[in-house]
Structure 1
């Protein structure tokens, strides 16, 4: 575990933008890096991540997730430190997803969830979750990089989510009113490398504030109600169709990630 010293908002221009919207740096605290460099090779990948979703192979779209230490058809590494998730359309009937809304399976694809969970608490009041991604945005493609409750739902925080067009959805559920908060940002060339980041800070016994960034620029702040002391999975997945429209691509779809990082302050 690597430690250093950080302040409430970091990363140069992101900190300046945070100050511009009225944030105040907190006193320096011990900073711990808990996930970094996990795409350097398969031993590092499998030490830090589990294959598929935490609950299995299916979710809310038409892709079924495949992947294991012996199956890298849909989850694999290329080059230096780049993870690839590949969705391929299938031509046979594989039944329906086992998860609501129980759509027919049209694709095989890939997902990972981190062994390290995010838990906002008195001991770990601030978290940073970020990564660089080349995301597909064609109709029927639904890539995501997100946090979701390990023991209950909500909470949920979507740091990257494209739903069939060039808009990224930064989402938080639930907010103080009991609903969704959405910051929707038009992204030039989502298929190029962009950095997506969430800075999460405990603000009360039950709530946190989440600040979302795209390419180092602050884009929104959401109040995350009842997130404190709720363990959350970190998930990377390439789902298809569903909320991203249909029909999806007839060929392969690729979602690439690098430099995925998670750190936290220790009070």
Structure 2
């Protein structure tokens, strides 16, 4: 009987140790810290890198100048290649007064007051059954004075909507995270005050397919979840990824009288075939 008791005790010890390990793993996965978020996502999901953190150092491989549709959009800045530069892996978009050069060729056709810079990725994400989860992340220094309008966002490459604004400052220290179209057919918007947006901050977004047409979008700032929104009719759509330094428009006017900057580094895009 004594050998049998020893065997039983050993089996019980192994079982208890295994249960303890599973319990600790569960606690680790549910942690909300920035480091454990990476552990959680990476343990559950196998990521494929699409745009690497050093992509600005190989700019022409991964990025294009201006907007996908040209030089103008919905503010008072006209984009030029001369206002886009890269040094030490940091992308700098420079805005400066332009003088009177006519009106924007995009709705609402505002008068152009600035020359500035915008870039968009050569990668065209599609959230679908093959790649149901995407991760977008970058570090940014953003102006937050009246009339400055920096943003990091995706928009429909073939039609609008849909759109998801990962980070948008509109003339203040409030970072807006927005989704259009939501289930009600309009905007979902959440504003978060960011201390010193002109310092480096990290903006991270997970877009996950939830059914045949819709996605869940998690918006994170500096490792903290700020909003979870539903994007309706996002599935199967092609998206442009844009880093944008517009001026005035929704950010107020008059804007700055001098030169201002938006900077980006360590921008990554990943996709996963598993949820």
Name the TM-score, length of structure 2 as normaliser.
Answer: 0.84
Distance 1:10 1:234 in 2: 30
- Alignment partner of 1:53 is 2:55: no
Number of residues paired by the alignment? 244
Distance 2:239 2:205 in 1: 14
**Equivalent residue, structure 2, for 1:6:** none
> Any unmatched runs of 5+ in structure 1?
1-8, 19-23, 68-72
**Equivalent residue, structure 2, for 1:204:** 211
**Equivalent residue, structure 1, for 2:83:** 74
- CA displacement 1:194-234 (0-9 Å, x = unmatched): 00011010000000000000001001100100000001100
- Alignment partner of 1:84 is 2:100: no
What is the root-mean-square deviation in Å for CA atoms of aligned residues? 2.1
**Equivalent residue, structure 1, for 2:249:** 242
The alpha-carbon distance between structure 1 residues 10 and 246, as it changes in their structure 2 partners (threshold 3 A), is farther
User: What is the correspondence of 1:1-267 to structure 2 with a 5 Å cutoff?
Assistant: 13-14=33-34, 28-36=44-52, 37-40=54-57, 44-67=58-81, 73-78=82-87, 80-91=88-99, 93-267=100-274
Structure having the larger proportion of residues in helix: 2
Whether the aligned pair in 1 keeps the contact of 2:215 and 2:230 (CA below 8 Å) is yes
> Any unmatched runs of 5+ in structure 2?
1-28
**Equivalent residue, structure 2, for 1:5:** none
Distance 1:130 1:230 in 2: 20
Structure 1 runs (4+) greater than 2 angstroms displaced: 9-12, 14-18, 24-30
- CA displacement 1:162-215 (0-9 Å, x = unmatched): 000000000000111111011100010000000001101000000000000000
| Higher radius of gyration, 1 or 2 | 2
The alpha-carbon distance between structure 1 residues 108 and 229, as it changes in their structure 2 partners (threshold 3 A), is same
- CA displacement 1:121-140 (0-9 Å, x = unmatched): 00000000010000000000
Deviation of the 1:28 alpha carbon: 3.9
Name the TM-score, length of structure 1 as normaliser.
Answer: 0.87
